[in-house]
Amino acid sequence: MPQTALAFDADLLRRYDRPGPRYTSYPTAPQFRADFGEADLRAAAAASNGDPIPRPLSLYVHVPFCHSPCFYCGCNRVITRDQARGDAYVTRLEREIALVAPLFDRDRRAVQLHFGGGTPNFLSAAQLAEVVGAIRGQFRFADAHDCDISIELDPRYCDPRDMPVLAAAGFNRASLGVQDFDPAVQRAVNRVQSVEETRAIVDACRAAGMRSVNIDLIYGLPGQSLEGFGRTLDIVTAIHPDRLAVYSYAHLPQLFKPQKQIDETLLLDGEAKLALLQLAVEKLTAAGYAYIGMDHFALPGDELAIAKSRGGLHRNFMGYTTHADSDLVGLGVSAISHVGNTFSQNPRDLPSWEAAIDAGHLPVFRGMRLDEDDELRADLIQSLMCQGEIRVKDLQDRYAIGFAEYFSQELARLQPLVEDGLVTMSPESIRATPRGQLLLRNIAMCFDRYLDQPVTDARPRFSRAI
């Protein structure tokens, strides 16, 4: 448990609070290349079908629309109130599903389907059910108890009466955005959301039989205070979601335009942010939540917490999961796929995605094929993010390398982190200490080959670590 993470001093904090990727993938999206296209994705899918036991599939559907702009948002989204855009989007999603599904052998089961955004519930419950139906028609799903069908919900635009419709369509997990209940903060980020409407949706999800409810919070938002965020944490722990994510706000207005509307005078410094994180860790721990990794917590009986304690935790673009490595198929604008040893991404703007679908093409606009070094580092970072540990012998065996020679530079880079008590190193294992648990991305950054390379574009690409 990360209580000892609270022992940070200001100097340590300053040194480790630097931009870094969140490692939902390695290599990270900025490394994707324009010369990776449709034919490469087809070849990767064919090769993945040729595995002796082809991996199961995880599906992601991106819904880009939002009714109103939250100023902190760094996601790919389109602000509109025009519901007709939802119809057109669903029609094209169904075409994309029909284009993509034949790439995969029919006996490959889907074990995970996630709707993210944007705001997935910009689409009506009937439209969401239609998309799930189209996917079920083209992919074979694992038995319901083995399959996560999840959706991110904005409670401000949900009707509790829609939850049974979603449950009937197969949704068994919901994730609700909250961020902070403090009214001053809600105004500063243009997201005013009551406790009552949030609780009504949580109750409706549970009444409809959904297995698990997650709530997202953000620390580091403009105008946040220990008192206000403390009240939010008390309310949220009383709602008692099965899972909780506490994300760090990344202020990158050059990269994420909506953030330009944030009053920078209200932003917190690194130490104030850390105090909020400390408070969250304390309150969630006291409320009985177990720390999963990065910014995630879960009740001890939740599958994620059980998987974490058994070493069965995995991580992909959708975050932590209990499902073993699967091939990931992204549908919709900007969605990323991870098939075999490739990454590929759909166009990030709606017109390009629409044009590709209308022309009957797989809408791939960039991607990359991982070489053996990429795969080794991806594997290493995955085990760091999920187990908090790198097992040297496992990697030596799997990749036929001498670990100490192969990673001599990286191990030297790790030395200051060892001296700061974030990592312990032995010939068998590199392990994050309790205080290192909250700085996993800093540890992972030591092994990221691409961070050494000059970035052609002067804009910052990654959020800060804390």
Partner 1 sequence: MSQVPFPRFNARAMADDGDELQFCSTCAFSHACLSQGMDKAALMDLHVLVEHIGPFHAGDRIFSEGDPFDAIAAVRAGTVKTCVSERDGHEHVLGFHFPGEVIGLNAIDGHRYPCDAVALDTVMLCRFSFPKMSMLAARVPGLQRELFRLLSRDIGRAALLSGDWTADQRVAAFLVGVSRRLAARGFSANRFQLTMARADIANYLRLAPETVSRVLRRMQDTGLLAVDRREVQLLDRAQIDALAAPVLRE
Which spans of this chain sit near partner 1 (rule: CB under 8 A)? 47, 49-55, 105, 107, 340, 397-398, 400
Of the two residues 55 and 62, which places its CB atom closer to partner 1 in the complex? 55
Of the two residues 376 and 443, which places its CB atom closer to partner 1 in the complex? 376
Distant-in-sequence, close-in-space partners of 257: CB < 8 Å, separation ≥ 6: none
E strands within 145-236? 148-153, 173-179, 212-219
Whether the Cβ atoms of residue 242 and residue 299 lie closer than 8 Å to each other? yes
CA angle centred on 203, ends 201 and 205, rounded to 5°: 70
Whether the Cβ atoms of residue 332 and residue 61 lie closer than 8 Å to each other? yes
Shortest spacing between CB 48 and partner 1, in angstroms: 8
Of the two residues 54 and 220, which places its CB atom closer to partner 1 in the complex? 54
Q: Give the distance from CA 288 to its chain's centroid.
A: 23
* Token representation of residue 152: 């991110």
Of the two residues 340 and 388, which places its CB atom closer to partner 1 in the complex? 340
Shortest spacing between CB 93 and partner 1, in angstroms: 28
Shortest spacing between CB 324 and partner 1, in angstroms: 10
| DSSP string of 223-275, one letter each residue | T--HHHHHHHHHHHHHH--SEEEEEEP---TTTSGGGGGS-GGGPPPHHHHHH
Of the two residues 107 and 419, which places its CB atom closer to partner 1 in the complex? 107
Shortest spacing between CB 391 and partner 1, in angstroms: 15
Q: How far apart are CA 161 and CA 243, in angstroms?
A: 23
Of the two residues 53 and 458, which places its CB atom closer to partner 1 in the complex? 53
Whether the Cβ atoms of residue 382 and residue 419 lie closer than 8 Å to each other? no
Of the two residues 379 and 410, which places its CB atom closer to partner 1 in the complex? 379
Nearest alpha-carbon partner for 302 in 283, 317, 284: 284
Q: How far apart are CA 242 and CA 301, in angstroms?
A: 9
Of the two residues 111 and 131, which places its CB atom closer to partner 1 in the complex? 111
Nearest alpha-carbon partner for 25 in 381, 313, 466: 381
Shortest spacing between CB 394 and partner 1, in angstroms: 11
Q: How far apart are CA 364 and CA 349, in angstroms?
A: 12
Whether the Cβ atoms of residue 175 and residue 153 lie closer than 8 Å to each other? yes
Nearest alpha-carbon partner for 179 in 212, 201, 205, 154: 154
Shortest spacing between CB 376 and partner 1, in angstroms: 12
Shortest spacing between CB 271 and partner 1, in angstroms: 44
Shortest spacing between CB 15 and partner 1, in angstroms: 38
Shortest spacing between CB 111 and partner 1, in angstroms: 14
- Counted residue by residue, the chain has a size of 466
Reported as type and span, the H/E element at residue 331 is strand 327-331
Shortest spacing between CB 325 and partner 1, in angstroms: 8
Of the two residues 12 and 46, which places its CB atom closer to partner 1 in the complex? 46
Of the two residues 49 and 259, which places its CB atom closer to partner 1 in the complex? 49
Shortest spacing between CB 342 and partner 1, in angstroms: 13
Of the two residues 271 and 379, which places its CB atom closer to partner 1 in the complex? 379
* Token representation of residue 284: 């969630």
Of the two residues 400 and 458, which places its CB atom closer to partner 1 in the complex? 400
Whether the Cβ atoms of residue 27 and residue 370 lie closer than 8 Å to each other? yes
E strands within 17-172? 57-63, 65-66, 78-79, 109-117, 140-141, 148-153
Burial profile 330-351: b = 16 or more Cβ within 10 angstroms, e = fewer: bbbbbbbbbbbbbbbbbbeebe
Shortest spacing between CB 368 and partner 1, in angstroms: 18
